[in-house]
Structure 1
Amino acid sequence: MVYVDFSPLKCGLISLVLFLIVKFIRAYSEKSRLRLIPTVGPDGILTSYITVFKWISNANEVVNEGYRLYPGGLFKIPTLNGWEVVISGRELLNDLRGASDQVLNPDIFTEDALQAYYTMHPNVMKSSYHTDVIRTTLTRNIGVCLQDTYDEVKVAMSEKVPLSDDWIDIPAFQTALEIVVRISNRFFVGLPLCRDPEFCDLNINFTSDVFYNALTINQFPKFLHPIVGRIFTSRRASLRKAVRLLKPMIEERLKLREKYEDDWPDKPNDFIQWCIDAQQYAPLSLRTSLEDLCVRVLFINFAAVHATSAFTFALYNLACHPELVDSLRQEAEAAIEAEGWTKPALLKMRLLDSFLMESARTTGPRANGLLRKAMQDFTFSNGMTVPRGTYLSVATGPMLRDNTIFPDPEEFKPFRFAEKREKEGVSYKHQLVTPTSEWVLFGQGKHACPGRFFAGTTLKLLMAHVLLHYDVQFPNGSRELPQNFKRNADSAPDRSTKVMFRRRSRN
């Protein structure tokens, strides 16, 4: 009889060896299929991990190098998820934009990168009818609900940043996060739940957990994902909490809908109601599902929380450039005096729109974006072919700092885009929410971010309110912009930075 030692240590070593063998075979196979596409950094199976570690700490540096070495072409970079091909030219960007979802699919890439099946919910990608709700009903109601949204801006700001004649230190990123979640949920679920601290914390933590859980899962081979995806995620706990908090509201609305059908007195006008009304577009098994509606609320909060970084970067740039305050204030005051706190007033704030664009361009862009997965072999207009299964992205960070597109790209020119809009025939082109071949922050074509109009409105409301009610500066009057926190391709505001606020001076 043969006895085998199955001690935990030996089992662990065997599992590690098998894991490394699988990773090696996968890397070799992928590399051979992409051999005609140049590589940034060493391209050996083992030496490529030098670039992987650089990618983790500063992906912008890696993508910038590829953009410089292979202008207008393609290059590949090794990541923890495998090889990724990056597009570095506007001409090839048009190829990507014109490809159908059957050829280059953004949802599959996102699902793989975020491991959405495990970190969010299996239904999120299986049935994404909520995206159509965001693109249509939600967007149409931004103006209708603007007064309620601004009411939440006033209340949230007064609680989180009290008006004081003396300077007070505020932890900028965390405060911005709490304010953005409050404002967004006034639009998503309404009062009083949008002000419930437990509900707000749930959505903040869920967003953070998705990223960290996906990062963990992606360290393992795909065949282990069903196991580790259940071990290293907190989505079930998040969903249980969401169901507990949302259940009374949803059940009441479903009863009213059953009684009155499509309309009833004082029918709520918010995202959760629009999803209930749109459930005929969901699979039959998901209709009127309490759990599924809660998943949609968690998902849209995951998307909305990203406005936090843009708001924080804008505050940092305002503190760095106090000489801009008078121009921005005068524009906001004139627009609000003429139109009130309305959508037309926000459209008149061209200087503020330009300021937000330049803030995002210079401080907050991802290293790469417009993520796609090739569902079949795809040939670009330059003759280069990527095989089925390839992950693709666009070098969005370098594009937004390309001196052939934006002269003096490293210089912060707050009214750069407002000046462009003064030219005849392009007044609506150079706007924060308008995707172009130059402005790639919100994606391109039919896959441009469906929530960009709500995000843009939220940012303008917040910044206009700050301008009209507060003075802003860094401690000790510093004019130095804090260093960003970088992780993989993302670039986020430094979370330890404080911004000082006081009641606006009327001198």
Structure 2
Amino acid sequence: MIDIPELGDIPGSTYAVIGISALALLAYRRRANSGSLNQIPTVGYSWPILSYWSAIRFLFDGKAMLEEGYSKYKGGLFKIPMTDNWTIVLTSPQLIDEARQAPDEQLSFMAAADLSIQNEYTIGESNMSNPYHINIIKSQLRRNLGDMFGDLRDEIAHSFEDTIPTNGHGAYSIAEGSVSEWVKVPVYEAILDIVCRSSNRTFVGLPLCRDPDYMELNINFTMDVVKAGFMINRFPNFLKPIAGRMFSKLPSHLERAGKHLRPLIEERRKMVEELGDDWTDKPSDFLMWLMEAAQGEERTVPNLARRILSTNFAAIHTSSISFTHALYRLADNPQCVPEMREEIDAVVATDGWTKIAMGKMNKLDSFLRECQRMDGIGLLVMGRYVFKPFTFSNGITIPKGSVIECASGAIHYDDEYHADAGVFDPFRWSKMRENEGEKTKHQMVSTEFEYLPFGHGRHACPGRFFAANELKAMLAHVLMEYDVKLEGAFPKSMNVGSSVIPAKANVLFRKRQSPNCQ
């Protein structure tokens, strides 16, 4: 699931339009498919008009509603009303596995993702109908992570230096004073910039990844997709085309992206015409792979720009939220810093700053995996849109038009699956990997029925290997270059619907003073 804009940013007139239009067709929609769902218990109200009230309640109290459903119906499933349909929530590994194995023509991951962000209006229908960029992420991007690691680390170092001061001069640098002083940094805003730059070093390379306007475009696009998708989803289906025109800024984003990417694309095509498919210093980045794979209309600058923007949306949104959570946890748990620094020193002494080294930093990996278990980006994962009625082994049939999701947030906090699940244990997973036969298990990128930040099965997040590599490199950089501490109390995340939104808070940074100083 995606997070949403602050509710205060939404005009009251919009709520009025939503309410009037939705209530007009509410009874018909609910009556059309609720009968076949009567065997599934409801959290909230089931009756048509009141169920809409429960859908509104879910926006503000979604975490409590999901916890209520999990507590009452663990091992089975329950339903929660949304503005125009029902979400069926699965609560057991067995049901999750059955949904995972279902064919795409019956339970569709792509269709559910499309609905979540209203892709037709916010990014473009072709991204779903012809997702060739996903295959590039699964193949070329993953295969080349080792070769590209040097550039990634270089960009991480430069972007941190430009954003958070190590020499007294940075975006949040104090005007006067020694670099030994603590500097207050609004974390989420800073991490957005760092993730955008670092990711685009891999996507489009230098110098474009450092262009201020290009960075602003990709960050704004990410936010606008989230906001537009949220607003469009508040409207009934028959009004969504109108809402799409009202809230989506896709045309202007594509035009702006084209201005940045067209010269780069045209220069690369000129080189191919003159020198063939291989030439000295030919870029090996995501844009080049897209250009080589695109066919027909997908070769146009606007469509290539669309793929770059959508890839940025996935990378910036998830990684920025995840790393913000991780920084809060790091600042709140100084006792784990010495062990991670010691591990980094030992691994780098043998393998240098490489992707291979990242793979050997088990405690660092465990720390990030535990952050994702406890914080994550959403309380529901593995969305599936029901194209054809689906019957689970318990005999319950889900009708066409419903959406199925898995209660990942509740599962991650369930003591049955995770000992002392409510306790943040930074090395929980690295300790488990010390057991016989589990050396290669429980890694950040590993998916299991009890651990679902990246989903599970064939539709697990294809970019998780890139994301994990980037996040580990960023955390290692922070540990080796900075001391960090919280400005105040630990900032608790907010929940809007099923989305987990990091609290806006400051973390204090200073240049690292001693090997294990906090």
Counterpart residue identity of residue 308, structure 1: S
**2:112 partner SS:** helix
Given candidates 469, 480, 486, the residue that maps to 1:474 is 486
Q: In the alignment, which residue of structure 2 is the partner of 1:293?
A: 304
Deviations 1:222-244 (A, max 9, x none): 22222221222111111110001
Counterpart residue identity of residue 88, structure 1: T
Whether 1:436 aligns to 2:448 is yes
CA contact under 8 A between 2:88 and 2:402: conserved in structure 1? yes
Given candidates 496, 503, 507, the residue that maps to 1:494 is 503
Matches of 1:421 and 1:102, distance apart in 2: 37
Deviations 1:278-323 (A, max 9, x none): 12xx4x332x211111000000000001101111111101111111
Q: In the alignment, which residue of structure 2 is the partner of 1:30?
A: 33
CA contact under 8 A between 1:365 and 1:396: conserved in structure 2? no
Whether 1:388 aligns to 2:400 is yes
Whether 1:113 aligns to 2:116 is yes
Given candidates 182, 188, 212, the residue that maps to 2:197 is 182
Counterpart residue identity of residue 501, structure 1: F
Question: Cα distance, 1:83 vs. partner?
Answer: 0.9
Q: In the alignment, which residue of structure 2 is the partner of 1:9?
A: none
Q: Which runs of 5+ in 1 are unaligned?
A: 1-12
Whether 1:245 aligns to 2:245 is no
Whether 1:235 aligns to 2:250 is yes
**1:46 partner SS:** helix
Q: In the alignment, which residue of structure 2 is the partner of 1:505?
A: 513
Whether 1:398 aligns to 2:413 is no
Q: In the alignment, which residue of structure 2 is the partner of 1:21?
A: 24
Distance change >3 Å, CA 338–CA 15, structure 1 → 2 = closer
Whether 1:167 aligns to 2:167 is no
Q: In the alignment, which residue of structure 2 is the partner of 1:92?
A: 95
Matches of 1:352 and 1:80, distance apart in 2: 41
Matches of 1:457 and 1:116, distance apart in 2: 27
Matches of 2:252 and 2:29, distance apart in 1: 34
**1:39 partner SS:** coil
**2:323 partner SS:** helix
152-161 vs 36-45, greater mean Cα deviation: 36-45
Distance change >3 Å, CA 262–CA 404, structure 1 → 2 = same
Question: Cα distance, 1:18 vs. partner?
Answer: 5.9
Matches of 2:496 and 2:37, distance apart in 1: 26
Q: In the alignment, which residue of structure 2 is the partner of 1:123?
A: 126
TM normalised by structure 2 equals: 0.91
**2:146 partner SS:** coil
Matches of 1:369 and 1:340, distance apart in 2: 36
Q: In the alignment, which residue of structure 2 is the partner of 1:373?
A: 385
Question: Cα distance, 1:21 vs. partner?
Answer: 2.1
Counterpart residue identity of residue 349, structure 1: M
Given candidates 187, 194, 197, the residue that maps to 2:209 is 194
Question: Cα distance, 1:360 vs. partner?
Answer: 1.5
Whether 1:484 aligns to 2:501 is no
Counterpart residue identity of residue 462, structure 1: M
Q: What is the number of equivalent residue pairs in this alignment?
A: 487
Question: Cα distance, 1:463 vs. partner?
Answer: 0.5
**1:296 partner SS:** helix
Q: In the alignment, which residue of structure 1 is the partner of 2:67?
A: 64
Counterpart residue identity of residue 438, structure 2: V
**1:152 partner SS:** helix
Matches of 1:383 and 1:328, distance apart in 2: 49
Question: Cα distance, 1:259 vs. partner?
Answer: 3.1
Q: In the alignment, which residue of structure 2 is the partner of 1:4?
A: none
**1:48 partner SS:** helix
Matches of 2:165 and 2:430, distance apart in 1: 32
Deviations 1:407-443 (A, max 9, x none): 1111111111111111122211201101112211101
Q: Which runs of 5+ in 2 are unaligned?
A: 1-15, 167-178
Q: In the alignment, which residue of structure 2 is the partner of 1:39?
A: 42
CA contact under 8 A between 1:373 and 1:390: conserved in structure 2? yes
Q: In the alignment, which residue of structure 1 is the partner of 2:9?
A: none
CA contact under 8 A between 2:33 and 2:399: conserved in structure 1? no
Whether 1:149 aligns to 2:152 is yes
227-236 vs 398-407, greater mean Cα deviation: 227-236
Matches of 1:183 and 1:80, distance apart in 2: 38
Given candidates 443, 463, 473, the residue that maps to 2:475 is 463
CA contact under 8 A between 2:486 and 2:507: conserved in structure 1? yes
Question: Cα distance, 1:20 vs. partner?
Answer: 2.4
18-27 vs 31-40, greater mean Cα deviation: 18-27
CA contact under 8 A between 2:445 and 2:464: conserved in structure 1? yes
| 1:398-437 equivalent positions in 2, closer than 5 A | 398-437=410-449
Question: Cα distance, 1:365 vs. partner?
Answer: 4.4
CA contact under 8 A between 2:84 and 2:237: conserved in structure 1? no
CA contact under 8 A between 2:127 and 2:307: conserved in structure 1? yes
CA contact under 8 A between 2:83 and 2:236: conserved in structure 1? no
CA contact under 8 A between 1:365 and 1:397: conserved in structure 2? no
Question: Cα distance, 1:30 vs. partner?
Answer: 2.7
Question: Cα distance, 1:114 vs. partner?
Answer: 1.0
**1:145 partner SS:** helix
CA contact under 8 A between 1:262 and 1:277: conserved in structure 2? no
**1:501 partner SS:** strand
Amino-acid identity (%): 39
TM normalised by structure 1 equals: 0.93
